[in-house]
Amino acid sequence: SQQGEEDPQALSIQEGENATMNCSYKTSINNLQWYRQNSGRGLVHLILIRSNEREKHSGRLRVTLDTSKKSSSLLITASRAADTASYFCALPPGGSNYKLTFGKGTLLTVNP
Amino acid sequence: GAVVSQHPSWVICKSGTSVKIECRSLDFQATTMFWYRQFPKKSLMLMATSNEGSKATYEQGVEKDKFLINHASLTLSTLTVTSAHPEDSSFYICSASPTGFHQPQHFGDGTRLSIL
């Protein structure tokens, strides 16, 4: 299964600012998923966007998907210190929702 | 929402000991569960796919005799690290998903394994 590549690898912002992280991939997808991992914890699912969707919102999170550019972005608005975590995109193999592989992620630090 | 419970959250044991980690789907059935390993400041590495009622599928380079996986029911998979050594020290995480297309994975909280 393919792996997404997140960019940047690290991002440090002040509380209240917006944070944008990107994910690029190489082959066709059925959906793309974003996850958050707090230090020393498991991953938490944030948003799943299907290949026929262009944008999806959940609270302060906005995910966009551009299949022509094979890229996705995750925007966190009005960030909080509690948003400090690593963020990963994951792409299941075509035709299946299983066997996710993860890139190195983006480490977001929100300074109070 | 779907919940996955992983136990124990933290284990310290002597070299040569075997350690069992449990992964349970609490409110859904999972014919497939996944086991990952994570090194400090690194991404998750998929170790194996646990299949209910059949043998697990291991990723390349993962020793199946070292990491025994049993998926005896639709809600429980176990990972046993046999004869553990310090190099097996790591963070192990399981995940599972309800059946169906476009379903996200739900992760346990991970197990921190330290072998002395």
B111 touches chain A (CB under 8 A): no
| Closest CA in chain A for residue B113 | A40
Nearest to A42 among B46, B100, B110 (CB): B110
| Per-run averaged pLDDT (10 residues), chain B, 116 residues | 92 96 94 92 89 91 95 93 96 89 89 96
Alpha-carbon gap, residue A8 to B59, rounded angstroms: 28
Structure tokens belonging to residue A10: 């690290």
How far apart are the C-alpha atoms of A17 and A111, rounded to whole Å?
10
For residue A30, list chain B residues with Cβ-Cβ distance below 8 A.
Answer: 101-102
- pLDDT score for A95: 47
Q: How far is CA A33 from the centre of its chain?
A: 7
Residue with more model confidence, A27 or A42: A42
Query: DSSP state, A30?
Result: S
Give the gap in angstroms from C-alpha B47 to the nearest C-alpha of chain A. Answer: 10
Closest chain B residue by Cα to residue A49: B102
User: Which pair of structure tokens corresponds to residue B55?
Assistant: 């043998």
Return the residue of A nearest to B105 by Cα: A45
- The bridge status of strand A55-58 relative to strand A5-7 is unpaired
Shortest distance, CA A14 to any CA of chain B (angstroms): 22
